[in-house]
A and B are shown apart, each in its own frame.
Chain A
Amino acid sequence: MDIGAKVIDIIAEQAILDPGDVTLESTLDSLGIDSMGLVESIFAIEEAFDIHVPFNANDPSDSEFNISSVSSIISGIEKLVAEKS
């Protein structure tokens, strides 16, 4: 499974949605994921890819990690996975 699909699976599970309903353009807000859901999603992503996501819940928009949309999250993860290997 590619990284994008896996990330979408994780986000869909958090949002209690079908992965088909999560698009690249979706924002976490539009999916109904709140700050706690976001922290849980980041945790699940870190576990799935064995990476560390630089993310501070105090001000998510100020973190080095861009969470403005599903596609920005996926590209951030792809970069972190690439850096790892």
Chain B
Amino acid sequence: MNRVAVTGSGTINSLGHSVKETLANMAEGLCGIRPLFLRDVDRLDIKIGGQVKDFDPTTVFNRQQLALYDRVTQFTLIAAKEAIKQSGIIFSGELAAKSGVVLGTAGGGVSTWDDNYRAVYEEGKNRVHPFVVPKLMNNAAASHVSMEYNLKGPSFTVSTACASSNHAMAQAFQMVRSGLSDVMVTGGSESMLCFGGVKAWEGLRVMSKDACRPFSANRNGMVQGEGAAIFVFENFDKAKKRGAKILAEVVGYAMSSDASDIVMPSKQGAARAIKGALNDARLNPEDVKYINAHGTGTAANDKTECAAVADVFGRHADSLMLSSTKSMHGHLIGGTGAVELLACIMAVKDGIIAPTIGYEEADPECALDVVPNQAREIEVDVALSNAFAFGGLNAVLAVRSV
């Protein structure tokens, strides 16, 4: 069993176009959720989201690339560039042959589906662009990362709704820990903020029209976000040997399935994943000081998640911090766990705990320290990142300071 280091991180999301900008804004408790700018927004009931701002893909990619890159692939490549550059790794020879990329996304190229359905249904066209399929497929982003960086080892995309990124990163972690690969590029991305993507979520009637206020008694639902976060997971000893800067150590994970309901979360399923991650990482509950919550801002999630944390941690639940950064960047669905891992790394590396903003009123059913509204400076050794998906599929990761 090898130890696993994080030696690179990159992101683009509604809080920033880099890790530095994102973390600075998380530490400030800034809100990236704003009025949506997208076609036919006037026909939507939900008109807010964590949209990536000031982003013009034509300044980053050329015409040929844009013909192949859905917005979700664009975000992924931008985040991957930052992460791999930070790691300082150039993939060649044997290293390239064994290194791969495992990413999470729930929807893949949603705007490509949306645009082309419009073309054939609404505009009555009988012809679509030749690259519609390679542009929209769920593995497109992973494949483009592999091509861009010469990653020739195990590469694929995991799709488990809101837990996609955590499941993907758990796979990458396992590969490095087991010695299958020395380096894996991992994380996730999502870009559903188009008319069809938002309309689909409206249907469930769980979206907020004004703000995402996890754990606050007056919360009224979730808010979608978009973007990507990518990491480089590397064999710890080899990273140390080459003098790489190690951001954090990934120490364990667990996955579980509720096997009960397609949308309602289960306390038992969530608790099994949290407990499983502690066991896998050989941690005692008291070791954990911070949990980045799934914290969607829906009644169903927030109550269940707090109950699961209380069950697993017992009395220690009252002395740990649990915050939901979705209050700032929105719910990136399949990409959310990746952006949220950034907050965990900030906690163990910089000792800054990102807050749950928009918190206005205590809820007795969520009576934990949710780090309301203001970031906190406190040394943290171990942090967990929770993801509990529709379909009852859960994945929890544990990271430690180095």
Chain A interface residues toward B at CB < 8 A:
35-36, 39, 42-43, 52, 55-59
Number of interface residues of B (CB under 8 A): 14
User: Is B242 located at the chain interface by the 8 A CB criterion?
Assistant: no
9 A/B residue pairs, CB under 8 Å, sorted by A: A35-B264, A39-B203, A42-B205, A43-B203, A56-B221, A58-B206, A58-B298, A58-B299, A59-B220
By a CB distance below 8 angstroms, the chain A residues around B262 are 36
Whether A59 and B299, one on each chain, are in contact in the complex, defined by CB atoms closer than 8 angstroms, is: yes
Whether B219 and A58, one on each chain, are in contact in the complex, defined by CB atoms closer than 8 angstroms, is: yes
By a CB distance below 8 angstroms, the chain A residues around B263 are 36
User: Is B137 located at the chain interface by the 8 A CB criterion?
Assistant: no
By a CB distance below 8 angstroms, the chain B residues around A42 are 205
Question: In whole angstroms, how far apart are the Cα atoms of A42 and B45 in the complex?
Answer: 15
By a CB distance below 8 angstroms, the chain A residues around B281 are none
Whether B221 and A58, one on each chain, are in contact in the complex, defined by CB atoms closer than 8 angstroms, is: yes
Whether B220 and A39, one on each chain, are in contact in the complex, defined by CB atoms closer than 8 angstroms, is: no
Question: In whole angstroms, how far apart are the Cα atoms of A43 and B199 in the complex?
Answer: 13
Which residues of B from 9 to 61 have beta carbons under 8 Å from A? 45
Question: In whole angstroms, how far apart are the Cα atoms of A76 and B79 in the complex?
Answer: 49
Question: In whole angstroms, how far apart are the Cα atoms of A52 and B221 in the complex?
Answer: 18
Whether A58 and B300, one on each chain, are in contact in the complex, defined by CB atoms closer than 8 angstroms, is: yes
In the complex, which residue of chain A has the Cβ closest to the Cβ of B301?
Answer: A58
In the complex, which residue of chain B has the Cβ closest to the Cβ of A38?
Answer: B205
Whether A57 and B205, one on each chain, are in contact in the complex, defined by CB atoms closer than 8 angstroms, is: yes
By a CB distance below 8 angstroms, the chain B residues around A59 are 220, 299
Question: In whole angstroms, how far apart are the Cα atoms of A58 and B204 in the complex?
Answer: 10
B331 → A minimal CB distance (Å): 14
By a CB distance below 8 angstroms, the chain B residues around A43 are 203
Q: Given A35-B264, A36-B263, verify A55-B205 contact (CB < 8 Å).
A: yes
By a CB distance below 8 angstroms, the chain A residues around B300 are 58
By a CB distance below 8 angstroms, the chain A residues around B264 are 35
Whether B204 and A57, one on each chain, are in contact in the complex, defined by CB atoms closer than 8 angstroms, is: yes
In the complex, which residue of chain A has the Cβ closest to the Cβ of B206?
Answer: A57
In the complex, which residue of chain B has the Cβ closest to the Cβ of A34?
Answer: B264
In the complex, which residue of chain A has the Cβ closest to the Cβ of B297?
Answer: A58
A51 → B minimal CB distance (Å): 13
Known pairs A36-B263, A58-B300. 13 more at Cβ < 8 A?
A: A36-B262, A39-B204, A42-B205, A43-B203, A55-B205, A57-B204, A57-B206, A58-B206, A58-B219, A58-B220, A58-B221, A58-B299, A59-B299
Question: In whole angstroms, how far apart are the Cα atoms of A43 and B205 in the complex?
Answer: 10
By a CB distance below 8 angstroms, the chain B residues around A35 are 264
By a CB distance below 8 angstroms, the chain A residues around B204 are 39, 57
A52 → B minimal CB distance (Å): 8
Question: In whole angstroms, how far apart are the Cα atoms of A60 and B45 in the complex?
Answer: 17
A33 → B minimal CB distance (Å): 14
Question: In whole angstroms, how far apart are the Cα atoms of A16 and B219 in the complex?
Answer: 33
Question: In whole angstroms, how far apart are the Cα atoms of A48 and B298 in the complex?
Answer: 28
Question: In whole angstroms, how far apart are the Cα atoms of A36 and B220 in the complex?
Answer: 17
Question: In whole angstroms, how far apart are the Cα atoms of A8 and B299 in the complex?
Answer: 28
Question: In whole angstroms, how far apart are the Cα atoms of A52 and B45 in the complex?
Answer: 10
Identify the 4 closest CB pairs spanning chains A and B, nearest first.
A57-B205, A58-B299, A58-B221, A57-B206
A62 → B minimal CB distance (Å): 8
In the complex, which residue of chain B has the Cβ closest to the Cβ of A35?
Answer: B264
Among B204, B205, B206, B263, max chain A CB count under 10 A is at B205
By a CB distance below 8 angstroms, the chain A residues around B219 are 58
In the complex, which residue of chain A has the Cβ closest to the Cβ of B222?
Answer: A58
Whether B203 and A56, one on each chain, are in contact in the complex, defined by CB atoms closer than 8 angstroms, is: no
A60 → B minimal CB distance (Å): 9
Among A35, A42, A58, max chain B CB count under 10 A is at A58
Question: In whole angstroms, how far apart are the Cα atoms of A35 and B299 in the complex?
Answer: 12
B24 → A minimal CB distance (Å): 31
Question: In whole angstroms, how far apart are the Cα atoms of A38 and B77 in the complex?
Answer: 41
In the complex, which residue of chain B has the Cβ closest to the Cβ of A63?
Answer: B205
Question: In whole angstroms, how far apart are the Cα atoms of A36 and B204 in the complex?
Answer: 9
